A = this chain, B = another copy of it.
Amino acid sequence: MGKTFKLLGIGVVAATLSLEGISWLLRCLRDGRGRPVKEVLFFPSTVTCINHLFLPGPCSCPLPHGDSTPFTRLLRHLLSARSSLDLCIFAFSSQELCRVVQELHRQRGVSVRVVTDKDYMMISGSQIGALRKAGISVRHELGGFHMHHKFAVVDKKLLITGSLNWTHQAVQGNKENVLVTEDSGFVRPFLQEFEKLWEANDPARSAALSDFIML
């Protein structure tokens, strides 16, 4: 009886230590690849030079240099893309954000898809034309109302969403928010919404529908 109890004790000690060890190991591995991103950015953001995000080395332009503004944080999240950027954006006239998207497409081989609003893509200063000229896949809302989303999903796992349109005024003037998260409970539905809008606004679908109506 005493021996059995002793063995039971040894067993429990060994099991507890093993579980603790596995838990510690998992924590170490998790910390090694960083905690899941969870961040809120508020705008307006001060104007700083963003050249250092694209080119290594010092920059001598007259703008202030810094890396902790909400805008540079936003750009860094976007530039973290390694495979894909799925973007649903109502108004897109920021040249800096256009530079980021073009950099991802041209220099880093990231697959970029953009869904935008049909009315706002034609406003003065819109960067949608520049994206299309650069060979980026852009589709616009074919329905009767606005495609008013302002979200991006990076590499199918990082969601960037909020009130911020990608315009100069939104970034530097307005009170705006951007929420950044890797929580799959949020990322997954936004990815599904993107795919739904991407398919619904396929121009081939629209052409086929026009042909059907004209028959």
| Interfacial residues, chain A to chain B (CB-CB below 8 A) | 2, 5-6, 8-10, 12-13, 16, 38, 40, 42, 44, 88, 90, 141, 143-151, 161-164, 169-170, 173-177, 179, 181, 183, 185-186, 189-190, 193, 197
Contact = CB atoms under 8 A, between A and B. Distances in A.
A45 to B, nearest CB: 12
Contacts of A173: 144-146
A8 B17 CA distance: 14
Contact of A148 (B16, B38, B161, B176): B176
Contact of A141 (B175, B181, B189): B175
Contact of A186 (B149, B164, B179, B189): B179
Nearest to A5: B6
A73 to B, nearest CB: 13
Contacts of A189: 40, 42
Contacts of A9: 5-6, 8-10, 12-13
